[in-house]
Chain A
Amino acid sequence: MLNFLPLSSPQARRWSWPWVITLGYLSVMLILPAIALIQKSLSLGFSEFWQIATQPMALSAYNVTFLTALAAAGVNGVMGTVIAWVLVRYDFPGRRIVDALVDLPFALPTAVAGLALATVYSDRGWVGSWFAPLGVKIAYTRLGVFLAMVFISLPFVVRTLQPVLQAMETEVEAAARSLGATPGQVFRRVILPPLMPPILTGVALGFSRAVGEYGSVVLIASSMPFRDLIAPVLVFQRLEQYDYAGATVVGTVLLLGSLAALLVINRLQQWGRYYASR
């Protein structure tokens, strides 16, 4: 029988079954692997690490990964806000279906998403064929990487923003209008400020997800070095070549990038709480 409750002494409470399972499982599943990665990185020594980390191919991969992810998350910062706004404020036909659809990237395996996007946006695809005559290639270029990242990072902004929008009092808008503000002023000065923390949190969450994304990108990108090769794919390729040092170094850089995003997200959430508590 699991002992789910604190025993009578605080010491015993620490070691009741849920504690043992939680800490034990996290140690084996997260901490041990993380130590393995760090140990492997450290074993290379700083100069070798730096040399591998700054190889031109790696630098180009970071560039493609981080900048494209930032652009994708940014675009969704705007479009996600529009979608969340429309879903909360307007009761249009099919709203429930659209609302459910937003979670598609959480539910759809990324490989399927990549496959589908590559097909629609390839030269001969439904949408790609409109752009081909203009000389714009989407699939198998950096634009395709961007598209895949837009796909998988969309729900984050919508889902962090929706509850905040829902809780927002419409009286505040009416009050601002009664004080003589134009609709534009109401939006800029009353509506937008409290929405900034959740929007930016969503952008950061989306960015963090896009940076690590592999499945959908690998299917829509040609993964050519210096063109549309992203860092996760580079890690994968290094592993396939049994270059464990190379894979570890790029993987560590990728991990540090994600952790930095995580710190930003924590800060943003604190900022959001500050707004919510007022």
Chain B
Amino acid sequence: MQAAKPASQLTSGQWLLTGLAVTYLGFLFILPALVVFTTAFSDGIPAFITALQSRAFLQATRLTLIVTAIAIPINTLFGLCAAWVIARNQFRGRTLLMSLVDLPFSVSPVVAGLMLVLLYSDRVGWFSPVLTALGVKIIFALPGIVLATLFVTLPFVAREVIPVLEELGSEPEEAARILGATPGQIFRRVILPHIRWGLLYGILLTNARALGEFGAVAVVSGSILGRTATLPIFVEQSYQNYQSVAAFSAAVVLAGLAVLTLIGKAILERYYLHKLPTH
């Protein structure tokens, strides 16, 4: 890795280039982020706090947290299994499997939602007879929102864990196995300590996307405020209804979480770079 040129040695042309980059990011990222905060507090802090105490907002927050709490463990388990299958085995179709795991990134969230509607809608879905018979509602209800969130966050853990698992190699696993460790012991004592930062990184990204997913959830949720609206949908609905303080207050909460995510990412990236024993 090469060292960056210290600021004191930059030429004016290089400063110009730096200025261009920062200005671009300023207009694209920083100004919009600032406007969220100023608008949320435009009617003063009490208005902001009142907005966050509305029933609709609290319901949306609760729903978002429930969905995220379900999605993270499921996709973590899947991500670990998929990463292990891909990193530890040579088989025909391995590349195909990798592309398949990445596929949700290339599918428009709206199309993902549409697919779920075609499967589970109680009007036109494939499974509508079964669902009606069982009296289970998926679309326009919590299970649909969970499914949509699972779909869009499916690749994150696997993608982050595959490279660290490949880097570990299969020899330490074989060594542990020869020494008599059970599969569970091997996972806990050999694999997990090595992949933990990559795994945590993947979970962080899963978390951010699960909290913020809009398109796929909007399709399957029905966007009923107070019932099936998650936080991002609450933001959109409030905004369309000209309740700008409510919209921006919720946006501030989500943006705050995004900032925490970025800080977490930066910290984890440092651990990635300095792979020293951490005890």
Which residues of chain A have a CB within 8 Å of any CB of chain B?
Answer: 1-6, 13, 17-19, 21-22, 25-26, 29-30, 32-34, 36-37, 40, 79, 82-83, 85-96, 98-104, 106-117, 119-120, 125-127, 147, 150-151, 154, 166-170, 208-209, 211-215, 218-219, 231-233, 235-236, 239, 242, 244, 247-248, 251, 254-255, 258-259, 261-262, 266
Which residues of chain B have a CB within 8 Å of any CB of chain A?
Answer: 1-2, 4-7, 10, 14-15, 17-18, 20-22, 24-25, 27-33, 35-36, 39, 77-78, 80-82, 84-85, 89, 97, 99-101, 103-119, 123-124, 126, 147, 150-151, 154, 173, 177, 182-184, 186-187, 191, 205, 208-209, 211-215, 218-219, 231-233, 235-236, 239, 247-248, 251, 254-255, 258-259, 261-263, 265-266
Count of chain A to chain B residue pairs whose CB atoms are closer than 8 Å in the complex: 282
Inter-chain pairs besides A4-B184, A115-B239, A213-B108, 10 sampled, C-beta below 8 Å: A26-B97, A114-B236, A167-B1, A168-B2, A212-B107, A231-B108, A236-B219, A248-B118, A251-B110, A262-B106
Instruction: Name the distance in Å between B97's Cβ and chain A's nearest Cβ.
Output: 8
Q: Are A259 and B106 in contact (CB under 8 A)?
A: yes
Q: What CA separation (Å) do A113 and B30 show in the bound complex?
A: 11
Q: Are B214 and A214 in contact (CB under 8 A)?
A: yes
Q: Are B105 and A127 in contact (CB under 8 A)?
A: no
Instruction: Name the distance in Å between A260's Cβ and chain B's nearest Cβ.
Output: 10
Q: Are B108 and A255 in contact (CB under 8 A)?
A: yes
Q: Are A109 and B214 in contact (CB under 8 A)?
A: yes
Assuming the A-B contacts A115-B251, A167-B1, are A86 and B215 also in contact, with contact meaning beta carbons closer than 8 angstroms in the complex? no
Q: Are A109 and B118 in contact (CB under 8 A)?
A: no
Q: Are B28 and A5 in contact (CB under 8 A)?
A: no
Instruction: Name the distance in Å between B170's Cβ and chain A's nearest Cβ.
Output: 9
The dominant DSSP class at the B interface is helix
B-side contacts of A94, CB under 8 Å? 22
B-side contacts of A17, CB under 8 Å? 81
Q: Are A261 and B106 in contact (CB under 8 A)?
A: yes
Q: Are B212 and A214 in contact (CB under 8 A)?
A: no
The dominant DSSP class at the A interface is helix
Nearest 7 Cβ contacts at the A-B interface: A109-B212, A212-B108, A214-B215, A215-B214, A116-B32, A33-B115, A18-B81
Q: Are B5 and A116 in contact (CB under 8 A)?
A: no
Q: Are B183 and A108 in contact (CB under 8 A)?
A: no
Instruction: Name the distance in Å between A235's Cβ and chain B's nearest Cβ.
Output: 5
Q: Are A5 and B186 in contact (CB under 8 A)?
A: yes
Q: Are B5 and A91 in contact (CB under 8 A)?
A: yes
A-side contacts of B99, CB under 8 Å? 262, 266
Q: What CA separation (Å) do A116 and B117 show in the bound complex?
A: 30
Q: Are B27 and A127 in contact (CB under 8 A)?
A: yes
Contact of B36 among A4, A25, A112, A248 (CB under 8 A): A112
Q: Are A18 and B21 in contact (CB under 8 A)?
A: no
Instruction: Name the distance in Å between A33's Cβ and chain B's nearest Cβ.
Output: 3
Q: Are B118 and A108 in contact (CB under 8 A)?
A: no
B-side contacts of A36, CB under 8 Å? 115, 118-119, 126
Q: What CA separation (Å) do A4 and B84 show in the bound complex?
A: 8
Q: Are A109 and B184 in contact (CB under 8 A)?
A: no
Q: Are B77 and A21 in contact (CB under 8 A)?
A: yes
- Closest B residue to A215 using CB positions: B214
Which of B21, B24, B232 lies at the interface centre, i.e. has the most chain A CB atoms within 10 A of its CB? B21
Q: Are B32 and A113 in contact (CB under 8 A)?
A: yes
Assuming the A-B contacts A29-B150, A112-B36, A247-B114, are A90 and B236 also in contact, with contact meaning beta carbons closer than 8 angstroms in the complex? no
Contact of A116 among B33, B78, B215, B218 (CB under 8 A): B33
